[in-house]
Amino acid sequence: MKKLLPIFLFLSINSFAIFRSGDVVFIPAVAYDAEGANDALWNTDLYVTNPSEGALFLTLEFLPSGMEGRTDQTRIYKQLTDQSLVAYQTLIIPNVIKTYFSDVVSPNTSGALIIYGKDTQGKAKSLIATSRTYTYVDKEDPSKGTYGQFIPGIPWYYYIDPVYKDQKLDQHWLYGLTQNESAHTNVGFVSGSSTKTIDIGLELYDKSGTLVGSKQVIKGLGPLGHLQINYFLQDKYGLTNVDGYSLKVTIEDYSPKDGSGTPALYVYASKVFHGTNDPIYIEATYPVDLNYNCVWP
């Protein structure tokens, strides 16, 4: 994976906010027969499209959930050498973690997925990835259908970067968080750095815009680590009957500070309704406007 170094010489990274194409793309939450609340059983289907001319070759890397992250010695990845995608072709992989990683991981597993794209010369080539994570209406009878959520792939450049504090690109926000009898919200974090350990800053605001409590810090998310906190508002703040809350996420600190790459963090959330286990994906956003001059001069 390339070092995640800033390449932005213009005013705002947010010019890329609605763009999905990249040669390294993260699916921030994936599952393989992962047991959830209310008897849910989560799995993930993956869709990858080659958006341009020339063959696309893929490598998939699974990041099991865990604060420790991964090292070069603990990588779990598969190069899809037996197939390539021609121009504009879409590859559909049902139950992607089971399909490609069941020989090294067991059921009841969750985490994140990285998709790398290469061309026929082995050079970086952009792709577009999306996914659907779902649970069965009745896991004893899959024919009854599923409830699921669309989770878009996050291009590598759409990350929290503490260097760009003045431009407010050092933060992501999640909106519409809920914890009550009807639904709860899970919040997840994925490190995009293969070299840095990250401390995550959290500021929670109620629907009136009032800060709830004080800033919290999650210490020690390792390189390419994945953490999902289920029932987030109850777990971190002891809240049981709230709706419409917002969460500001920053990189509070990181190490080592030796120039070996850039600290990078991706954030997501999912609201799950208790009666059905029907999930809704909540996408993180920057708090600043798109600098349209970067795209339409």
Peptide bond into 256 cis (omega under 30): yes
Cβ neighbourhood burial of 225 (10 Å; 0-12, 13-18, 19+)? buried
What is the Cα–Cα distance from 42 to 262, expressed in whole angstroms? 32
Residues 67, 171 within the same domain: no
- Whole domain around residue 50: which residue ranges? 13-155
Residues 46, 128 within the same domain: yes
Residues 140, 32 within the same domain: yes
Among the candidates 129, 155, 181, a domain finishes at 155
The pLDDT score that the predictor gives to residue 26 is 99
Among the candidates 130, 155, 180, a domain finishes at 155
Q: Is 163 helix (H, G, I), strand (E, B) or coil?
A: helix
Give, for all 297 residues of the chain, the pLDDT tens digit: 443 433 333 333 443 446 889 999 999 999 999 999 888 999 999 999 999 999 999 999 999 999 999 988 899 999 998 889 999 999 999 999 999 999 999 999 999 999 999 999 999 999 999 999 999 998 888 899 999 999 999 999 999 999 999 999 999 999 999 999 999 999 999 999 999 999 999 999 999 999 999 999 999 999 999 999 999 999 999 999 999 999 999 999 999 999 888 999 999 999 999 999 999 999 999 999 866 666 555
Among the candidates 155, 175, 208, a domain finishes at 155
Residues 35, 98 within the same domain: yes
Q: How many domains would you assign to the chain?
A: 2
Residues 87, 183 within the same domain: no
Provide the b/e sequence for 31-42 (b: ≥16 CB within 10 Å).
bbbbebeeebbb
Q: Give the other-Cβ count within 10 Å of 207's Cβ.
A: 13
Measured between its terminal Cα atoms, the distance across the chain in Å is 32
Which neighbouring-strand residues pair with 46? 93, 131
The pLDDT score that the predictor gives to residue 10 is 35
Give me 150's structure tokens: 């669309």
Residues 31, 93 within the same domain: yes
Residues 64, 192 within the same domain: no
The pLDDT score that the predictor gives to residue 294 is 62
Residue 2 in any domain: the answer is no
Closest CA to 271 of 247, 249, 252: 247
- CATH number of the domain to which 81 belongs: 2.60.290.11
The pLDDT score that the predictor gives to residue 297 is 53
